[in-house]
Amino acid sequence: MAVVLALCSALAYGLSDFLGGILSRRTSAWSVAVVAQISSASCTALVALFVHGHPVAADFRWAVLAGVGSGVGTGFLYRGFAAGRMSVVAPVSAVGAALVPVLAGAVGGERPAPLVWVGVVAALPAIWLVSSTPAGPATAGRPHGSPTGAGSGLGDGVLAGLGFGLLFAALGQVPQSAGWWPLALSQTVSLPSIVLVAVAMRAAWVPRGPVVRLAVLAGPLAATATGLFLLASQQGFLTVAGVLTSLYPASTVLLAALVLHEKVHRAQGVGLGLCALAVALVAGG
């Protein structure tokens, strides 16, 4: 069940990122992140009202840490997508998001079966390949004044990956008995985290215009994704949940192919095949 939950989380994250990435190319990425997180926090709090639990102080401390990671990850991911550097930001962020919970799980004493570890190892190049794009004018649709260069994309990807990795690793410490209020807190904390980083970078974050309002649609998707990850980490290994959830670029690529009729090139095809192999190995283990 944990494998299914993690894969559904990856699908929901991919849908959310697809929508957020498109909107971020038309307006401020930070304002899109703000609206999306407000929507996500509201949806999560609504669900938390109906989920029974007894959280303790430690659960809320982990939730605050997860919220900081979520805010940083979302902000820099959208910033990278807005500048047209998806080919750099997506794979770096996804690999980072996978590695942090793997390390956290290993340090915490998790010992998955050897076959599962083979699947984890296979998932890392799969994430990279499925997120790659052919060399070419990757900056099409770049907003005026956005930074250029692979170096900037690498920085956004690393920071986004560390943020999401922190989110996964911290949420993985919240037990099922806590209910969903810690998750609602993490989503709420992510909002001031986004604003503080945007202010520090002197970036526009106040939502303005009709385009940014559409980011409210990303909220339920992000809330669903994070909630499914929480359930997956509670019912199985954090190591497995983190890696499988980090396959979210695969759903984004497939969605782009179906909706935008983007061509899936050879490297992405190999990556999708490795994704399927990784899932089979983890499930079989």
Angle between the N-to-C axes of helices 2-24 and 218-235, in degrees from 0 to 180, rounded to the nearest 10: 150
pLDDT tens sequence across 20-76: 888 888 888 899 999 999 999 999 999 999 998 999 999 999 999 999 999 999 888
Burial of 21 (0-12, 13-18, 19+ CB in 10 A): buried
Amino acid at 179: G
The Cα–Cα gap between 281 and 171 comes to 24
Torsion of CA 274, 276, 282, 285, to 10 degrees: -100
Provide mean pLDDT across the span 256-272.
75
Confidence (pLDDT) at 283: 66
pLDDT tens sequence across 93-124: 888 888 888 888 888 888 877 887 887 788 77
Give me the residue spans of the domains in the chain: 2-138+161-284
pLDDT tier at 85 (50, 70, 90 boundaries)?
low
What proportions of the chain, in percent to the nearest 5, are helix, strand and coil?
75, 0, 25
* Residue 281 in this model has a pLDDT that exceeds 70: yes
Confidence (pLDDT) at 86: 63
pLDDT tier at 257 (50, 70, 90 boundaries)?
confident
Q: What is the DSSP letter of 142?
A: P
Enter the pTM of the model: 0.82
Mean pLDDT across the chain? 83
Residues 6+ apart with CB under 8 A from 127: 91, 94, 95, 98, 246, 247, 249, 250, 271, 275
Confidence (pLDDT) at 59: 96
